[in-house]
Structure 1
């Protein structure tokens, strides 16, 4: 008996040691391979996949659900949800929750540049576009922020480990990329900035409104539908204890007794302790049955999920679900068990609509500079991409220097103006990899300026299999905050920050007048005309201006109209403006 007990203790000790060693294996892998590495959205998505699908899938899923729940504390968001009745009616609330989950999983568990990911974002854009007059950019940005922040906060509070800084940054990059593809404007440039912005927005806008309470109660009712009636009141108290005080007050939920809050925290802490010290890490990713391999297209041209949250929408009928006890709702034809098509997700009245708009939007997401590296050899080769902007000594500090000239091209160590935030204007994804024999690798160039300039530039160096000879080429770009701009035609060597409506930023010279009686002369001058007196008469001076409309590949397409408001006044002063009849 003593021998058996000693053997059991030894084996238990060995098992716990193995658990502890492998439990932190993935976070060590992330820190080893991605520390001090420039994160593009491909690398960021890979990190998030390790975190969300392998290390902490359960809490990632719950925290994402509560992140969406948190947006209902904003009156402008809850008002629209109440008006559309997509959340307050229990008959459709379950499907709405599942459709939202499906759309998010489609771009979370698939490569951002894949067809499935782009079409899911395009579907979200189409559905939001139907209510574009009722959804503000700030509400969209706040929703984006909680999808970034809430899983990080929940992991810190309830999970077996917190996220390291690289994982936080990766999550920010992933959702920032999604936000950009959803045409959300004014996204903060760093994780800390969006954290502060979100907190300030909550303080100002998360206040009580009747619609908040309606949405909150409807969501709780949907969550409680999973439990038998005798448990629902206690589970309700536990769920309310998980939300913060500001959100609770905005929905006018009852205050939860302290012992229930403490009990809920203890349950999560026990789970975290058990996972941290007593379990081996997950081998297979939990992608909610919606990954590339776990959810391929079936013979009906649809995708069947393996699991669900509230109702078994789009889940395949299997013997397992038929014999599983204590399940109120089982997969079947009423839940479209044959699978889903992205264009059918959303309110039933919009099912199958907007396909052409979605295809066009998804195609626009591909409209980035793309080039390929082709390996025509019989062996595998590695490649590494470097941007000259990563080296501070190469940067040109003077914004108004024309970097597209011959002298600049001759000096390949110089690059053009960079983002004010310190982030690179250009990104390339992926930055490294392996190309098999006869294979090819597609590289995507992303251009993300944060201010106006005509002369953004960077130098790309590609190293193949660590050979000393590098492939080099230059990237150039023009960034415009607004679509309409104006600048002198004959002053091309000076960068003009002259996009309307910030007209004052466009003016390159200033003239100060000290005569108070001299009216009508602005302090800011766009062009200066100097007539010359030759052979006894003045030769008229002439300058040409360019009024243009920048081309954009996403968002609303609008013409740039312009007018001259005071032509009669300036004609009386001896000036003549010839306005050509052109379409902008």
Structure 2
């Protein structure tokens, strides 16, 4: 079996079993993180889909990605999805670095979320499987010069963010359209915080990203309640997995 096929099998287990809910949350966070890059925010805001039909657009993106996870990059369904992605991006003048950054957000943000908040952290082998999958996707989409390892990609991503994150009206508009939906997807946190759930969503990002979204740093009470809810969720996940292993 090729390295890509093995990586796809490992990634499929993560997406549908090991980290099923956490991977989805990480994808949402990764996608939102792209709003902090002016070049990307302008394109997303210009179409109007993310601001006017936020949930529909998010669901469509998720369906395309999960179709790739389920069927594989070189399946008939995978080839159709990749062709659709090419058509979707063709009308826009987007630089290779911006495409690489979007790829980094889909590859690395879910793994970072799982490391911080899932019932256990991903192993190096699982992180490598993720990166191998996205290297394969980059190759099929014609995205050049993606770093060969996930650690190198993380370094590239941090450098890119320092150089390119900036506040824009489009980034703010996209985040305001999305933050409520994101808060709804953090299990139990909205119920804990009620009307402050939007601020809980803000607390899921670092200061650099919040500044680019023109979002305020949430109050300490909100940050603490969010962390506590996520720790409790991870603890419940560990207990559930331990019982299933008996």
Q: TM-score, normalised by structure 1?
A: 0.39
What is the Cα-based RMSD across aligned positions, in Å? Answer: 2.2
1:254 is aligned, of 213, 216, 220, to 216
Structure 2 counterpart SS, 1:88: helix
Q: How big is the shift at 1:282?
A: 7.3
Q: Deviations over 1:481-535 (max 9, x none)?
A: xxxxxxxxxxxxxxxxxxxxxxxxxxxxxxxxxxxxxxxxxxxxxxxxxxxxxxx
2:28 touches 2:182 (CA, 8 Å); kept in 1? no
Structure 2 counterparts to residues 432-511 of structure 1, below 5 A? none
Q: How big is the shift at 1:279?
A: 4.0
Q: 1:220 to 1:104 in 2, by over 3 A?
A: same
CA distance in 2, matches of 1:109, 1:243: 29
* Largest Rg, 1 or 2: 1
1:72 is aligned, of 29, 35, 44, to 35
Equivalent in the alignment of 1:504: none
Q: How big is the shift at 1:87?
A: 1.4
CA distance in 1, matches of 2:147, 2:166: 24
Q: How big is the shift at 1:50?
A: 1.8
CA distance in 2, matches of 1:157, 1:242: 11
Structure 2 unaligned spans of 5+: none
CA distance in 2, matches of 1:50, 1:241: 29
CA distance in 2, matches of 1:278, 1:222: 27
1:130 is aligned, of 72, 76, 91, to 91
Higher strand share: 1
1:173 is aligned, of 128, 132, 142, to 132
Q: How big is the shift at 1:130?
A: 2.0
1:64 touches 1:147 (CA, 8 Å); kept in 2? yes
Structure 2 counterpart SS, 1:109: helix
Identify the structure with bigger relative contact order (alpha carbons < 8 Å, sequence gap 6+): 2
CA distance in 2, matches of 1:55, 1:200: 30
Equivalent in the alignment of 1:85: 48
Q: TM-score, normalised by structure 2?
A: 0.90
Q: How big is the shift at 1:221?
A: 4.3
Q: 1:225 to 1:46 in 2, by over 3 A?
A: closer
Structure 2 counterpart SS, 1:255: coil
Q: 1:202 to 1:122 in 2, by over 3 A?
A: same
Q: Deviations over 1:162-204 (max 9, x none)?
A: 1111111110000110111111111111212111111100000
Aligned residues: 240
CA distance in 2, matches of 1:279, 1:138: 40
Structure 2 counterpart SS, 1:87: helix
Structure 2 counterparts to residues 29-428 of structure 1, below 5 A? 40-89=3-52, 92-131=53-92, 134-223=93-182, 233-279=195-241
Q: 1:40 to 1:202 in 2, by over 3 A?
A: same
Structure 1 counterpart SS, 2:109: helix
Q: How big is the shift at 1:222?
A: 4.3
CA distance in 1, matches of 2:67, 2:104: 19
1:55 touches 1:281 (CA, 8 Å); kept in 2? no
Higher helix share: 2
Structure 2 counterpart SS, 1:253: coil
Q: How big is the shift at 1:55?
A: 1.1
1:110 touches 1:116 (CA, 8 Å); kept in 2? yes
2:182 touches 2:201 (CA, 8 Å); kept in 1? no
Structure 1 unaligned spans of 5+: 1-37, 284-584
